[in-house]
Amino acid sequence: MNSELIEHVMFVQQIPPFDILPKQVLQELTKNITITYVTAGQVLTDNDELQDTILLIKKGILVKRTCINNETSTIEKYGEGDLCRQLILNNNSTLVVEEDALVYCLKLDDVLSAVGEYPSVMQFLTVSHETRLKQTIISQHATEISASPLNNTLIGDLISKQAATISQDETIQQAAEKMTRLGYSSLVVLKQEGSIGIKELGIVTDRDIRVRCVAEALPYTTQVSEIMTKDLYSIDASSIAFDGLIMMMDKNIHHLLVTKNSQLHGVITITDLMHKEAQNAAHLISVIRRAKTVDELVKVGVMLPDVQLKMTKLGIAGLQIGKSISALSKALTVKLIELGQEELGQAPVPFAWFSAGSLARQEQLAYSDQDNGLIISDSALPEHFDWFKKLANFVCDGLNLCGFVYCPGNVMASNIKWRQTQKVWLDYFRTWIDTPSPQALLNSSIFFDLSFVYGEMSLVSDIKKYVLSKTTKSTLFLAHLSKNMQSNRPPLGFIRDFVLISSGDNKSTMDLKHNAIAPIVDLARIYALALGIEETCTIGRLQKVAECKTGNSVVSRSSALSLIDAFEFLVQLKLGLYLKKSLADLPVNNYLSPGDISRLERTHLKDAFKVIKTLQDARQVML
């Protein structure tokens, strides 16, 4: 191989996706390379000889521009070492030489002929960056499937026999006889509702019979409806099993009705799912619920970083890890509230403890701080507030000991400002929406992600309904939220490299949390508030937006789905960053150096940033 060809191979093999090709394929590919010198001002999209050509920039700068309403804007710049596909995508924009450039030219047909046995390379070159990101997520999902059995199992696949039922009028003895005969641990209790048909009323388990009948010395002739569990939760048979496990852990239940086409299909137990799941977060939640002291909870809390690292090593999806850590965090909070009430006595009036921020979105990870608050019934008297102060301090101190450190901004129930009656909270939200000051917008980014944890649920749900009733009509508030969101931009440079922090302890890195993940969280929140979507988690919000028939007035379905792909990729990248820092015994934080990830990962990271930037720009245009 002559020296010129060696030079070509060495240059091309540094550029994704060619960096994954074997040497002999690269040699074949580079045989057909032509090198062209182009001068500033040339419009390459007008050059017939360069049509259907992939350009690799050796030196100089090319600019991709578009013209909308007679206004020309720069979309992207290509510098040394960049691959430009503009001349093969033909997407109604122009490619102009900004600085004299030396480019390597590869005809698309020659490339596809050389890399025909490498479909991932072909797809990388011929599809949009949104589609490329989608394919990356699909590949990640394939890895996750092999990592966690519950991610690859539908709830319906675990149902081996139909649910057994019993009428509400039948006796406890008849229920026990039926369970024994069928070998079931539970029966679904049914009620006939006139011409409407049969309705699931509750569920009775063998434990209900032991605890509520035998232990209480009830006559066996008592109707089964007297001892059944009335709070029923259900899940569709098409849902993944992992979501069923998370639901049962979150609701503290052991049986879940499974429906198919809106009809009762079966019953799944938490034991069924725990046997399928190797990484057993459910076991830790069981330990939390049996704890008698704060010290016992702390022993579980300090385990969470290791649990997270083990799940990351196994290749479990970042979103599933977030759900697991969030479920554990919520269980710790609930248990601390219960222990607090054992020490302080029962609450003088109804209250609701809520989570905000990442825990409310089910996206909390180990190493996170806490965001929470207390909503107290309007019936509270002045002398009652000292009790709630003591409870708030007890719980927030306990969470800090368990590893969920105090919020640096003091957004906690231990702060009297965030421990108020429902009336005061409603006033807060009304003021934030009607008068969107900078502080109001900051509060909105925290408290508009609100999730009930413990107590009287209506105190939280009433506020959430009130908020959505106002935000769907408040274009001024949404405009201010959109403008405020622009302060967190993805660190995407116009030419080749990322825009990195220029000084300080985190010099030459980028902040994945604030400049990559937070913008997607912000966009999803704005879309949800505009459309009246009750969902709190980021992926759930974007999925609802994609399904919403009126969603096109806010964001297109394809854009919402692209944001989901970007979010999944970035969360997985962040968890990988945490893992690397932990293994290297470095402080765990959100600062990523581009040199610590592969060239291909850097390309996918740019793809994610482009998706975010495009949709941020779209919100800016709407202001």
CATH of span 155-277: 3.10.580.10
Please state, in angstroms and rounded to a whole number, the distance separating the CA atoms of residues 423 and 214: 45
3-121: CATH architecture = Sandwich (2.60)
Kind of pairing between the strands at 510-511 and 591-592: antiparallel
Q: What is the mean pLDDT of residues 395-409?
A: 95
Residue 551 has a pLDDT of 46
Number of separate helices (H) and strands (E) present in the chain? 25, 17
Q: Are 509 and 500 contacting, i.e. CB atoms less than 8 angstroms apart?
A: yes
Q: How far is CA 164 from CA 181, 259, 593, in A?
A: 11, 14, 57
Q: Is the pLDDT of residue 279 over 50?
A: no
The pLDDT > 90 percentage for the chain reads: 43
Per-residue pLDDT band at 303 (split at 50, 70, 90): confident
Please state, in angstroms and rounded to a whole number, the distance separating the CA atoms of residues 493 and 495: 5
Domain coordinates in residue numbering, the chain: 3-121, 155-277, 472-623
| Strands lying side by side in the sheet with 450-455 | 419-421, 372-376, 351-356, 450-455
pLDDT per position as a tens digit, 442-452: 888 899 999 99
Q: What is the mean pLDDT of residues 586-594?
A: 91
Per-residue pLDDT band at 275 (split at 50, 70, 90): low
Residue 496 has a pLDDT of 54
Q: What is the mean pLDDT of residues 77-90?
A: 77
Q: Which residues pair with 202 in a beta bridge?
A: 189
Residue 498 has a pLDDT of 83
322: left (phi over 0), alpha (psi -120 to 50) or beta: alpha
Lowest mean pLDDT among 18-22, 135-139, 375-379: 135-139
Residue 76 has a pLDDT of 78
Please state, in angstroms and rounded to a whole number, the distance separating the CA atoms of residues 298 and 277: 24
What is the assigned CATH class of domain 472-623? mainly alpha
pLDDT per position as a tens digit, 199-223: 788 899 888 898 888 888 889 999 9
Q: Is the pLDDT of residue 30 over 60?
A: yes
pLDDT per position as a tens digit, 327-358: 999 999 999 999 999 999 999 999 999 999 99
Q: Are 536 and 450 contacting, i.e. CB atoms less than 8 angstroms apart?
A: yes
Q: Are 268 and 244 contacting, i.e. CB atoms less than 8 angstroms apart?
A: yes
Higher pLDDT, 455 or 601: 455
Give SS3 for 94: strand
Least Cα distance to 14 among 64, 69, 72, 83 occurs for 83
Residue 163 has a pLDDT of 86
Please state, in angstroms and rounded to a whole number, the distance separating the CA atoms of residues 104 and 54: 8
Q: What is the mean pLDDT of residues 415-441?
A: 95
Lowest mean pLDDT among 26-40, 63-77, 254-268, 405-419: 63-77
Please state, in angstroms and rounded to a whole number, the distance separating the CA atoms of residues 90 and 113: 21
Write the CB contacts of 342 (distance below 8 Å, at least 6 apart in sequence): none
Please state, in angstroms and rounded to a whole number, the distance separating the CA atoms of residues 353 and 377: 12
Q: How far is CA 210 from CA 47, 156, 173, 176, 245, in A?
A: 83, 29, 12, 10, 25
Give SS3 for 442: helix
> Residue 408: phi, psi to the nearest 5?
-60, -30
pLDDT per position as a tens digit, 150-168: 666 888 888 877 888 999 9
Please state, in angstroms and rounded to a whole number, the distance separating the CA atoms of residues 390 and 435: 33
Task: Give the position of tokens 């698309």.
Answer: 108
pLDDT per position as a tens digit, 518-567: 999 999 999 999 999 999 999 999 999 998 865 457 888 888 999 999 99
Please state, in angstroms and rounded to a whole number, the distance separating the CA atoms of residues 421 and 374: 8
Please state, in angstroms and rounded to a whole number, the distance separating the CA atoms of residues 541 and 524: 6
Q: What is the mean pLDDT of residues 103-108?
A: 90
pLDDT per position as a tens digit, 482-497: 998 888 889 887 555 6
Query: What's the mean per-residue pLDDT of the chain?
Result: 87
Q: Are 451 and 359 contacting, i.e. CB atoms less than 8 angstroms apart?
A: yes
Peptide bond into 17 cis (omega under 30): yes
Please state, in angstroms and rounded to a whole number, the distance separating the CA atoms of residues 565 and 613: 14
Write the CB contacts of 195 (distance below 8 Å, at least 6 apart in sequence): none
